Amino acid sequence: MNKVTSAAVPALLIHCSIGTVYCWSTFKEAVAEAIGMTPFATGWAFSLAIFFLGMSAAFAGKLVELNIHKSSLVSAICFTVGMIGTGVTIHYFKGVLALILIYLFYGCIMGIGLGVGYLTPVKTLMLWFKDNKGLATGISIMGFGLAKAIATPVMEVLQRKCGISAMFLILGGIYFVMMFAGHLLLRKPEGWVEDKTVNDSFKVLSMLKDKTFVGIWLIFYINIHCGLMLISYEKQLLNEKFAGLAVLTTIVSVVPSITAICNALGRIGYSTVSDKMKDRATVYSIIFISCVALCTLGVLVPNGYIIIVLLMVINLGYGGGFSTLPALLESRFGMKNISKIHGLALSAWAIAGISGNNTSEIILKTTNNNYGIIIAVAAALYAVAWVIYFFAVRARKQEQ
């Protein structure tokens, strides 16, 4: 039971809390209306949250390696201060000042809590589950994906009954209890002590010169970028493909839950499958080939039901890319500095968080809302990612 109570449970408590960042679309219009700003302006709060998630993870590796209890507490405090600060801002402020404060609380402070919290349980899980590293990290990161499916209906009820400001305050309190419980439970295996000398000797520049790391960073970035290009426009794609049909309301209400479940299943499924493979990177080949195939089909046969399948496949691959990453990095670089290496790789998430949905926005503005172009561009980028995988990431025969 030690590995469950000391690693799996606390990881889920932390990730099921911070994963609610992906519920942004559930309340972004209510936030914009409450402070008197446009949804586009408030939308930058989400982009900032993802940016600070990735960048804080990139720089928090050293802290996580040496003291997971400090890092888990920092995460709990920053995440919940961000949530509660956003609720207070919405209640008391309006206009530009409110927008700036939401950028600060939801974007910057909460984003730091996201990044540190995302990174904190990962190495601990791999230490406890030495023979099933993919499964272990998949369980935790699945919690990040499931958070949206779990929290979305709760948020909708709280908005209706209590208002948007109270929703943030209530959930901020609930998530602090969950994350603090995770902080108290989380611990590494008995006798494991991090080597401070190894920690201090880690050089970021050496990783940035490593061809394999750069290749992994690039395919991870492209997978997130393309995923966000399509995932952030799920509702609009469905509205376009099923416009005027009687099933539209049902489709728009049901499909997002299905794709959220696919996102979570991809996280546990792909990472678990990677445990059985000679080379964990093969998972990315499967992801890219399936996404290229479905995107191409979606362009050639733009049927609504094909688009639903496309969104399911994209979500499976999006989640699987996240959960397979830690074990893939460990297979290439070992356990000694895995938190720092994983954190550095997550900087790709920071950049993709800004570039993904904004690329779609630019395409729509320049093509008179042609969603087919978004799908075509995603297909091309997935193909580029597969080429990078083939030449820079996959294990060569002599390395296996």
Q: What is the domain-level CATH number for residue 2?
A: 1.20.1250.20
Same domain as 340, residue 232: yes
From residue 225, alpha-carbon distances to 51, 52, 190, 215 in Å are: 12, 16, 39, 15
Residue 400 scores a pLDDT above 80: no
* Domain limit, last residue, from 159, 186, 213: 186
Query: Region 385-389: what's the mean pLDDT?
Result: 98
Same domain as 395, residue 274: yes
Q: Predicted confidence band at 200 (pLDDT cuts at 50, 70, 90)?
A: low
Q: Predicted confidence band at 397 (pLDDT cuts at 50, 70, 90)?
A: low
pTM of the model: 0.87
Same domain as 54, residue 172: yes
Of 9, 8, 259, 29, which is closest to residue 146 (Cα–Cα)? 259
Same domain as 166, residue 46: yes
Q: What CA–CA distance (Å, rounded) separates 54 from 60?
A: 10
Which residue type does 234 have?
A: E
194 domain residue, yes or no? no
Same domain as 170, residue 238: no
Residue 315 scores a pLDDT above 60: yes
Q: How many distinct structural domains can be found in the chain?
A: 2
Q: Are the CB atoms for 163 and 78 separated by under 8 Å?
A: no
Same domain as 326, residue 223: yes
Same domain as 158, residue 299: no
240 domain residue, yes or no? yes
Q: Predicted confidence band at 398 (pLDDT cuts at 50, 70, 90)?
A: very low
Same domain as 278, residue 140: no
Same domain as 158, residue 207: no
pLDDT at residue 29 in the model: 87
Structure tokens at 242: 């099923």
Structural domain of 294? 202-400
Same domain as 360, residue 281: yes
Structure tokens at 290: 């399936």
Of 100, 69, 75, 73, which is closest to residue 86 (Cα–Cα)? 100
* Domain limit, last residue, from 186, 213, 237: 186
Q: Are the CB atoms for 310 and 295 separated by under 8 Å?
A: yes
Query: Region 395-400: what's the mean pLDDT?
Result: 58
Using N-to-C axis directions, what is the helix angle for 39-66 and 110-128, rounded to 10°?
40
264 domain residue, yes or no? yes
* Contact partners, residue 203, CB within 8 Å, separation at least 6: none
The CA-CA-CA angle for residues 375, 49, 345, to 5°, reads 70
User: Considering the chain, what is the average pLDDT of its residues?
Assistant: 91
From residue 399, alpha-carbon distances to 95, 278, 331, 336, 395 in Å are: 58, 11, 11, 20, 6
Same domain as 268, residue 125: no
Same domain as 236, residue 385: yes
Range list of H helices, the chain: 2-3, 9-18, 24-35, 39-66, 68-92, 95-102, 110-128, 133-162, 164-185, 196-201, 204-208, 211-231, 234-241, 248-274, 282-300, 304-333, 338-345, 347-366, 371-388
